[in-house]
Structure 1
Amino acid sequence: MTDSRRWVWLAGLLFLGWLFYQLRPVLSPFLVGMLLAYLGDPLVDRLERLGLSRTIGVALVFGLFGVILLDLLLVMLPLLGRQLVRLYELVPQMLDWLQHIALPWGQEMLGLPGDFWRFDKLKTVVSGYLGPTTDIATTLLSGVTTSGLALLGWLANLLLIPVVGFYLLRDWDLMVHKLRGLLPRNREEQVVGLVAECHEVLGAFVRGQLLVMLALGLIYAGGLMLVGLDLGLLIGLLAGLASIVPYLGFVVGFGAALVAALFQFQGFELYPLLGVAAVFTVGQMLESMLLTPLLVGDRIGMHPVAVIFAILAGGQLFGFTGVLLALPVAAIIMVLLRHAHDFYKLSDLYGQSSSGPDDPPSTA
């Protein structure tokens, strides 16, 4: 490739990056629709092999997605709604418990001065913001009226997701075929190999990691509800969602469940605390020994620090859209870097060490 062509490619990539950054507020429904199409394509391909047309197969898969989503909404939404209302009611009481029980105990244990904790102001601010629990509907109504345009935009994006997903899934194989036809003929095999490897990593993450998150959310929520924790469902599902980052779900869920148990049972009762510890210990053991090896395997190979950095960087650069794209893009970059590392080792720039490239470092 000549220097002029390199500059043209670089300018094109910079323009695409700038365009993506400018369009990030409207990309979310298209990205979610693309995710649905990516998840549903193997199912539609199987239906096609059974003799159904592509359009009928897409309709059946979307109907399956809709039934699953509707069942989750009918079962989970009322339970989550009740727990959110309960959390709304408990916040002032939790602040009271912290102020009169937990913090004085910590103050006495640590030998802190009497006015070290200034909790009255925080309680006043939080209680004043929440207001009486009977005003939830009024608060929501006022929020809707003051941000009506934002709500309409959010609803429009939500309605766009199934439309975009349906058409992308219907034409998925056709788009892949046309994109492959645009590849340079002398580089087609190499590019297709890279895309196949990226597809393997993405499939392991998208399908495997989402199933792991769902399973952990159900394990944590069911276990905490069996322990008798009032907010067990809410904390368990949040811990499952946070499990997208390795060990974050365990840390966040275990910490929140301990605080909720200490407040609900008014002290250090042994049974609920041991129950919370047992739930998260069992969940973590199942994740490391069964769920992750079975559903994800070792095909992603991303370090936990890299996962955290990717999510934070994506959110900082592109907001919610960046969070959606962070780990898939990081997985693709990881595959490309792996090949770049192999090319570097074979290049003249790397050279040859006098002791041999594979000699281990001295431990003396």
Structure 2
Amino acid sequence: MLIDIIAGARPNFMKIAPIIREIEKSRKEGADLSYRLIHTGQHYDRNMSGSFFEQLGIPDPHYNLGVGSDTQAGQTAKIMTRYEEILFDKPADLCLVVGDVTSTMACAITAKKMHITVAHVEGGIRSGDRRMPEEINRLVTDSITDHFFTTSQTANENLKREGVEESKIHFVGNTMIDTLLGNMDRLIKPGVWDEAGLKEKEYLVMTLHRPSNVDEEEQLKSLISEIISSSKELPVIFPVHPRTRKNLEKLGIEYDSLIYTDPLSYLEFNYLVRHSKAVITDSGGITEETTVMGIPCMTLRDSTERPETCITGTNELLGTDPRAIKPAMEKLFSGKWKEGSIPELWDGRTAKRIVDIFTSF
């Protein structure tokens, strides 16, 4: 069986690394499995792409589609046409897509139109907010997926409600947690630790990148102002996404306790998270990592596709109203934040379950 493994953006790399390792291990044990790693090039910044391959032990891609920056429609078109050329030359038996980025949807559509089986890692997660591009990517991808590798019982129920046969749903856990647990003893102290004189549990980490938070000037200024004013003068470390940096520079947002950094590598960023007092984010994946590490997390979104991080884990959904930040900070500093626990099957063995299913096909 020839499997195409699709990766295009930063979250994808964390999810495919353990799957590749398990495929290679299974091959050594005699399994009839081979793979092609296809990097679409959707993320092209080195700290958001290249360094992940080195740090996570991912082999060089068999193909790099090099789509680079473009509109969502432009990226989708480039990915589809360039992946189609590969499939015309040599079809795969299965196309494995992960997560909810543009590459996920584009390659799933291309493979399915060429009658290739599609499997989706993280199938079934839903935010319920169709204003999010990622939600559209999830819905389109899952509408044509043949096998769903799910992270939670909530995702299973979402798929069943949408009419997916139970035989196609494989509850396996979370491959991103495989990567996190496998690298906890390899985390790297970033340069900002010494430069800013950071101390254990005496700083906050912040990430913002969603258009609803960073593209409207007043919203961005209000969010950051509330975070800084409520943080009791603790340093707030802000690794800045490229789209956010442009807006910050234009607005001239500066505070003594707000420390900007360039995007950090996976091992550096998670070192900061692991030793922080709390994380403030609008990312989905980070809420999974904070849940496993037991770090309080505040999510500046009105909905989440990962409700288990709130129900079971350490995450709380604050919404996008800046006025919600102060009460959450008061709860944090008073020591009343929930402890949380680790969701079912987030145990570091998800990739093995996935590859065992491959060998049974």
| TM-score computed with the length of structure 2 as normaliser | 0.20
Higher strand share: 2
Higher RCO (CA-CA < 8 Å; seq separation 6+): 1
| TM-score computed with the length of structure 1 as normaliser | 0.20
Higher helix share: 1
Larger radius of gyration: 1
